[in-house]
Chains A and B, each alone.
Chain A
């Protein structure tokens, strides 16, 4: 079945860049997502990338996709304390998974002032 792996923790200083990495196994994935969960809040979509792209930039966020290695990363430039949250990588399959949305365990980002 599908599997999505992430490192569990990342700590950075305010103003530095953060890079959160994710690997997935379903080669039929069509879209890959980054969701953000702030303390005590629900999950919200942060950004996504289609599988035929290798990069997407949205303000401070840069998503890189290496489809050959099934590796996805999220770079946050000029990280702020308000970016402290859990970041979940997710993939949407097409083939056997019929469009299911599978999440990684989440990376907890801590931003130190």
Chain B
């Protein structure tokens, strides 16, 4: 079946504009994660959704960042008033999830965001 799908694959935006990044997880996966990978850097956790539980937003770097997950499936990460330091690859992953469960997280190919 299809893997994790992210769109767009590339996005160039002007500083100060808002952007929306989309993630379609694997069907049936209850856990969804957003990470950010800056050039030459590791994975920075942003937000984690698990089923109907309140999301773990502890990784969001500022109040310009928000995410939602509608119907327990598709997720949108929104960055308002983008800044140049927001330029990075934004990665989405999904898994069968659940605390204490060993389930592999499958990653999308990411959205490369460039703020000019």
Contacts and interface: CB of A to CB of B under 8 A. Distances in A.
Interface in B93-116: 93, 95, 97-102, 104-105, 107-110
Interface stretch (A62-70, A76-84, A89-97): A89-97
Q: Give the residue among B91, B97, B99 with the most A Cβ atoms within 10 A.
A: B99
Given A42-B107, A42-B109, A100-B48, A88 B43 contact: yes
Contacts of B104: 45, 48
Contact of B98 (A44, A45, A88, A99): A99
Contact of A97 (B42, B56, B102, B108): B56
A105 B42 CA distance: 4
A50 B101 CA distance: 10
Across the A-B interface, the 3 shortest Cβ-Cβ residue pairs:
A105-B42, A99-B99, A103-B43
Nearest to A44: B107
Interface residues of A, number: 25
Contacts of B108: 42
Interface residues of B, number: 27
Contact of B42 (A93, A99, A103): A103
Contacts, number: 67
Interface of B: 31, 33, 35, 41-43, 45, 48, 50, 53, 56, 58, 91, 93, 95, 97-102, 104-105, 107-110
B114 to A, nearest CB: 17
A21 interface: no
Q: Give the residue among A43, A45, A105 with the most B Cβ atoms within 10 A.
A: A43
